[in-house]
Chain A
């Protein structure tokens, strides 16, 4: 007894081929998580994060840093400290929680080092803007393409998770070297402060 007609088999094979072809067409989609959306930006640019927003206001290189202006002993490193100052505006919706990291072209991922700072941006209450800073300890040989990344760690299912990537304007090793040479002797972490959004 003949189980399937040739036409049926042909349709089946066609579907298998179609499935394979669609996978080939968008290769990125196979490896990239399609439930995450990354917004790219530069220093000074207000980057939308849902109905909240994040701005990286300043980036500083420093040889030592003080976690608090009342500290008497600066923290030192063989590498370099990169301070990233930000402003976070809070909209209506709860932005959930997030983690921030620095990444470089070589693939290293740095986490914030200051012990009194949290590992992510804490958003203020609705209608307020909070400013603060993160300090990262970075290898001086790995500064090209330095990017500040915010990854949403807790969010509601059903909507794509929003991430932020801010290019910190270190396009080449020469620029990196200049920045390291001109690094400040000391960076004092500013206190987190909240103001009414204007």
Chain B
């Protein structure tokens, strides 16, 4: 007895749906590409999302801005440093949360979760004060500190979930062989967790690379701007240099997209592997 609803969708219908859905989804992205490749500053018109001209005028305009390369370097440095600091701290903390039972463990894990709920608006003024006192306003180091602490909680949860799935037997046999705790962490756990670490690195990188409002608040000197701050300026209240903005958007999004595609199989591994169990 087969109900009509039981028959699976015919293949061609599935494909039709997916093709239409994907096209609609990609429309805005193609649009940006089209605007970036036109030597004009207006919002593109017409319904065709494919580029009709190929001109790199917008890119060269942007690159030849006196401060653009400085600002690009700022973004690169901040994102790289955030990734290094954030991932390293998150790995060690997640390892402890996954492998040891110690007083304060539950509280610590919960504390990391709770920080996700701190509204950014509450932190902004105090962070400004703290960075001011440290002499880190207008300094990239200040952004690195703020971004890595922003990235840590999520990374810890992701990594803990992944570490939890690595069987303990491996470590136990290493212990038998006389390996120290640190050797186990460094030589066994981290290499096994490589995909999760890579994804954590990607998220830390994105936190820093894409952040706009804190950078805009803490950096007042144009030479200390990161790219998002500069790009946002191009979209003015009255006029928008859409061509330049689109070219910048393409430049900023490309590295993240490449990383995404490289890591796409592992994107949420830690999150689904462990779940939010204490």
Partners in one complex: no
Residues of A that sit less than 8 Å from B by CB? none
Chain B interface (Cβ < 8 Å from any Cβ of A):
none
